[in-house]
Each structure stands twice: as structure tokens, then as C-alpha cells.
Amino acid sequence: MKTFWTLTLLAMISWCSPVMAEFCTVDAEDNSTQCIFKTKRNPKNAQIVVSYTQQGWSMLVAVFLKEFAMVEGDSRVTTKDDKEYSLKYISTRRDMFPSGRVMEAPLYLATEEMLLKLSTAKGKVRVWLAAEDPEEVEVEFASSLFSDLDEYVAETKTVLGDLFEAQ
């Protein structure tokens, strides 16, 4: 009898994955689901947010600077093993904070392959953002910030499964 209840409990947990979700939240009132992966802000005042849209995986790289750098254009990501990935530029959001800091948050299309490689990267992950002045803004992240990225991708694919099947 104990085995029966254990198996029943395990089956319920596996069928109710959105309830056990770590990255995805479901809002029944708005009939919406959000799956978001965020890194913590690093010492160089930057943060990465990954999400999934109907166009594909997106990566927002928010940098907090002393003055505007006009971050616009395709950028790249490199890992410790010098593997380089391209980020296709979509748009940039800019904002000014009361402290005088400027936030530039360019949005890019990212590949699933790149996200999975970031989750297994060692050492540092560098993001080279195309800008006007200076020509590039380099942001460095500890690869440990991306260790759960593969779990995020898997959970997003499970929760938003119908969207992935439609593509």
C-alpha cells in the first residue's frame, strides 16, 4: 500500500510540473504564463534576463553606466574556451535613475545552442555590446550565474510546450 501511495504522489508531481516550476509562473486571472531567467547583478553593474517569445529565445543585457553609450547593433558572447556566439540585435530600452546612472538594455535574439553552452561554461562569460562611444561595451559575468540555464530551457519547453510544437 505504501508503494502505491508513493507512486501516486510521484505521478501527480510529474503531471503538475507548472505547480513545481522554478522559472515559470502562471497567472490564472490574466490567462498568462511567464518563464524568465535572471542573473544577479554583477559587480560591473550588469544583468542578463532570458525569456522565450514567439520569435525565439531572447536575451536582454542591462548595463548601468555613468553616461549613455548608445548600445545598438549585433553583439557577441564569448566563453572561456574562446567559443564566440552572435546575438542579433532587436532594440534597446534606455532609462535614467535618480542616482544619475543610465540603464541601457539591448534586446537580442539568442539561440538555444548558445544558452545551453552558457549553462556549461567555465570561468568567465564576456558579452561584447556594440555601441557608439566607446565602440564596444564589455560586460563580464561569472559562468556560475548561468548554471541553471539548461533547467530553465527544459522547464520553458515543458510549460510552453504547445508554443514549441506550433513552430
Question: Residue type for 32, please?
Answer: S
Cα gap 11→3, rounded to integer Å? 12
Cα gap 11→29, rounded to integer Å? 27
**Angle, nearest 10°, between helix axes 112-119 and 149-159?**
140
Give the ranges where 16-124 is alpha helix by DSSP (H).
112-119
| Ordered per-residue pLDDT tens for the chain, 167 residues | 554 444 443 344 444 433 445 888 888 888 888 889 999 887 678 999 999 988 889 999 999 988 888 999 999 999 887 789 999 999 999 999 888 889 999 999 999 999 999 999 988 999 999 988 778 889 999 999 999 999 999 999 888 877 666 55
Whether the full predicted model's pTM is greater than 0.85, yes or no, is: no
Half-sphere exposure at residue 114, Cβ-oriented, CA atoms within 13 angstroms = 23
Domain coordinates in residue numbering, the chain: 36-166
**CATH of the domain spanning 36-166:** 2.60.40
Cell reading at 22: 522554478
| Cis status of the peptide bond prior to 134, with omega within 30 of 0 | yes
Give the ranges where the chain is alpha helix by DSSP (H).
2-15, 112-119, 149-159, 161-166
Closest CA to 164 of 23, 14, 35: 35
Cα gap 127→75, rounded to integer Å? 8
